[in-house]
Amino acid sequence: MAGIYVHIPFCKKACHYCNFHFSTQTKYIDEFQTSILQEIVLQKQYLTDPIETLYFGGGTPSLLSPEAIASIYTHIQQNFELAPNLEFTIEANPDDISLEKAKAWKALGINRLSIGIQSFQPHSLAWMNRAHTVEQSHEALLNAKSAGFENISTDLIYGTPHLSDADLLEDIKWLKHYNIPHISCYALTVEEKTALHTLIQKQKIEGIDAAHQARHFEIIVNELSENGFEHYEISNFSKPGWRSKHNSNYWNGIPYLGLGPSAHSYNKISRQWNVANNQLYFQSIAKNQLPFEVEILETVTRYNEYIMISLRQMEGFSALHIQTAFGESYLEHTLHTAAKMIKEGQLIPTPQGYTLSKQAKFFADGIASDFFIVD
């Protein structure tokens, strides 16, 4: 099986923390649509397996009209084989989810919504410079439910300076109230070249407190675990049977094609990524040229990525997979590196290998980096 990701590089406004590729120049949406339809044709040979997951991300895909989304979807249907149990996700901001639009998405075949709630606290939304209000979040969830969507994921951002423990607990309470089966929780990170980074550097707003974020992470893990959620990936929680198939396939090495400016693709041999510039993307596609760079994935790169991704998942890493995919020397390195972490309680055994202990999960990326092999 395989997946397709469509990057919609437009937003109404710039959130202070965001470092994804996007533009607020929505007047170019029509030009983008023309280009994405042509890129679908140019890339029709990239994947050979049936498409099991289709994901419209961004940016803000919900800015596109249902007709525009339908046109892209139809073009994908015409150029790729879609699996009968296709998981079709669209990311949406609360202020875009009217009942009419939600019904149109459902009629089109979209069966999973990923809604950027981020917080139910007005001061947090203002601090992040989000485009929506708390009231719009509640209305969006009600509209999605009324339109017949059951597979709903919501994003929360935790660890912001003005989000108290009580605020976070109230955010979680509302998601439980709406019986949301999948919740993605992200610690606020300060990325360079973002408005947030600039504001903190100029000391106009308070910086990030690691201890505050660690406490919030613990609250989230405890609250959601007690309410029947699987902590199946460091930032992702789901009720049994409601994991994101698209993202899980990413993490498990399933090939995927990325369409649109800045989108990444992977075919097990190499990774490639489109130019992160809308105008250059439009110009290249108009010439029937694919504007991407490519990296051939060497064994050591694939090993490092496997360790990073597997330790972020609840199943952890498989010793047999490491031995089979990378060789005996990589397995010896892994077990030698793991020995100290096992003694310190950071790793615990599984039938296949090892996974992170509960207290180590907040430090997953740092622990994974200790395994990395650097040529």
pLDDT (tens, 9 = 90+) of the chain, 375 residues, equals 999 999 999 998 877 667 778 788 999 999 999 999 999 999 999 999 999 999 999 999 999 999 999 999 999 999 999 999 999 999 999 999 999 999 999 999 999 999 999 999 999 999 888 999 999 999 999 999 999 999 999 999 999 888 999 999 999 999 999 999 999 999 887 555 555 446 446 555 556 688 998 999 999 999 999 999 999 999 999 999 999 999 999 999 999 999 999 999 999 999 999 999 999 999 999 999 999 999 999 999 999 999 999 999 999 999 999 999 999 999 999 999 999 999 999 999 999 999 999 999 999 999 999 999 987
Contact by Cβ (8 Å): 80, 44: yes
Domain 2-251 sits in CATH at 3.20.20.70
Architecture of domain 299-369: Orthogonal Bundle (1.10)
Q: Are 363 and 350 in contact (CB under 8 A)?
A: no
What pLDDT was estimated at residue 195?
Answer: 53
**Amino acid identity, position 359:** Q
Structural domain boundaries in the chain: 2-251, 299-369
The per-residue pLDDT for 85 is 95
How far, CA to CA in Å, does 360 sit from each of 44, 109, 303?
Answer: 42, 40, 21
Q: pLDDT value at position 197?
A: 44
Burial of residue 132, with CB atoms counted within 10 A of its CB: 0-12 exposed, 13-18 middle, 19 or more buried:
buried
Burial letters for 96-108: b for 16+ Cβ neighbours within 10 Å, e otherwise?
bbeeebbbbbeeb
- Listed in order, strand segments (DSSP E) in 283-352 are 292-296, 317-318, 347-349
Find the helix or strand (DSSP H, E) in which 328 lies. Answer: helix 328-343
pTM of the predicted protein model: 0.94
Q: In this structure, what token pair is assigned to residue 1?
A: 């099986």
Q: Give the bridge partners for 166, in sequence order.
A: none
Taking the C-alpha atoms of residue 136 and residue 115, their distance in angstroms, rounded to an integer, is: 11
